[in-house]
Amino acid sequence: MLSAVLLSLCFSPAILAASGSRAERKDVYNRLGNLSPYHKAPAVPGIESALPNDCTVEQVMLMQRHGSRWPLASELVYIQNLSYKLGNASDAVQKADLPQSLQFLKAGYTTQLGHDNLTAPGRKQLFDHGVDFLLDYPHLHTDTIVAGGQDRVIESAEWFAKGYFGRYYPNSPPVNFTTVPEDSKTVSWITPMDTCSEWDYDYGGNATIEWGTVYLPPITKRLSGYLPGVNITDDDTHGALYACAYDLAAYGVSPWCNFFTHDEIYNFEYELDLLMDGAFGYGLPGQMGPILGTLYVNKLIERFSNKTGDAEELYLEFGHDTTIDQALTALGLAKDTPPLSAKGPVNPNREWRTSEQVPFAAKMIWEKFTCSKSLNGTSQIRLLLNGETFPLTMCSNTAEDRRFGTCAFEEFVRANAFSTNTSYGDAAWNATCGPATVPVQA
């Protein structure tokens, strides 16, 4: 765990002066890709965030990412190896002429980060989201929670439920808590890639390896210059970047973030964008990205059209950043032309930006609503992503649609014919993912 001395160094006036204002540091913390602490997305210019007064939200479908977590085991090893290396070279560290941003190393940097599970800030994020959701939609009710079957997702759903239902959850009111297995035997709109035998996480990892050969060496050279005799490698630099993100996720502060320049943090953000786009988005081969996301889009359309005759007014569901990314891909949203390049950002204003789309505790909220006069008085649909309207550009056909980022539900369905014409185990799925491994119900 970070020592008291280390914590006092994290936000000392000297370090803040050297690193920029508090506002600038907060901006850096919000630019850590899908490892960013939860923050509200920036408003889209020209889009009105509030619906007209004559509109009533009738159905809501929430997909909530789990809160801040410990690093994945594959990421933790970079942080641990850096920590061990610094500890084994403590004499060299003590003799080094360190800048203010690295003075914390004199007190020793050790890590006791765990892996995979929810952290204390992650629990708070979800509890707060539960309270906020109840205040935002007090007229809608449900007695059901659905969570992907992974520990951090299940715990996130439980903390949300405590904020939403109150101290007597789950007994008053009685709540039906359901988990959806995350495995190759369950067709799930939460983790659709698990039943796609051709899907491979390395699609994203290979792109980031190429990018790492460009942006890591200059940082390594700079860090090594301050730490002669420590033998800092590119892997150690990666460990310091991960430490920046995951100390924040676990403790709310990290001294490592102060060492990196804004451009270096933004480059790390781009690496994480590449990874998520390459493994769960448009960077997947062929139509795999959109195909995977069709499971979620079809679930949304099925419920909002009451196709099965038992639609509910409110759905509270919990999954991953990947769930949201795959849904956006099937919808054709946040798509970059030309696509993201492993050699570096072609467009600094890229559409695919995981810091804004899927920070920890990201919330994707779909609203179906009707207005008595506005928006032609027809059933409409709107996407709120992390507290701001995410325009449905694929079906916004009128001036009012473009003003509010919405579209008529019928137009939304029509615009998503790719999804409605695709289902698990059909010809399109099998051509992309290989033969269906789960029996398909007639």
178-200 tens-digit pLDDT:
999 999 999 999 999 999 999 99
Neighbouring residues of 195: CB distance < 8 A, sequence distance ≥ 6: 184, 185, 186, 187, 188, 424, 433, 436, 437, 438
Neighbouring residues of 306: CB distance < 8 A, sequence distance ≥ 6: none
Q: Determine the Cα–Cα distance for residues 355 and 328; give it in Å rounded to an integer.
A: 15
Whether 82 and 240 have beta carbons less than 8 Å apart is answered as yes
Q: Domain ranges for the chain, please list them.
A: 31-70+120-199+284-435, 71-115+200-282
Q: Determine the Cα–Cα distance for residues 423 and 330; give it in Å rounded to an integer.
A: 13
Residues of the chain below pLDDT 70: 1-26, 441-442
Let me know if 66 is a catalytic residue.
Answer: yes
Which phi and psi (to 5°) does residue 368 adopt? -110, 130
The pairing of strands 407-408 and 379-385 is antiparallel
Let me know if 321 is a catalytic residue.
Answer: yes
Out of 3.90.650.10, 3.40.50.1240, 3.40.50.300, 3.10.129.10, select the CATH number for domain 31-70+120-199+284-435: 3.40.50.1240
Q: What per-residue confidence (pLDDT) applies to 346?
A: 82
Catalytic residue among 39, 66, 129, 320: 66
Catalytic residue among 236, 247, 273, 321: 321
Q: What per-residue confidence (pLDDT) applies to 378?
A: 87
Percent of the chain with pLDDT over 70: 93
User: For the segment 269-299, what is each residue's pLDDT rounded down to a tens digit?
Assistant: 999 999 999 999 999 999 999 999 999 999 9
Q: What per-residue confidence (pLDDT) applies to 345?
A: 87
User: For the segment 41-52, what is each residue's pLDDT rounded down to a tens digit?
Assistant: 999 999 999 999
Pseudo-torsion of CA 166, 169, 152, 256, nearest 10°? 30
pTM for the model stands at: 0.93
Q: What per-residue confidence (pLDDT) applies to 6?
A: 41
Query: Residue 154 burial (CB < 10 Å; 0-12/13-18/19+)?
Result: middle
Question: What are the residues facing 389 on neighbouring strands?
Answer: 384
User: For the segment 153-163, what is each residue's pLDDT rounded down to a tens digit?
Assistant: 999 999 999 99
The pairing of strands 55-65 and 314-319 is parallel
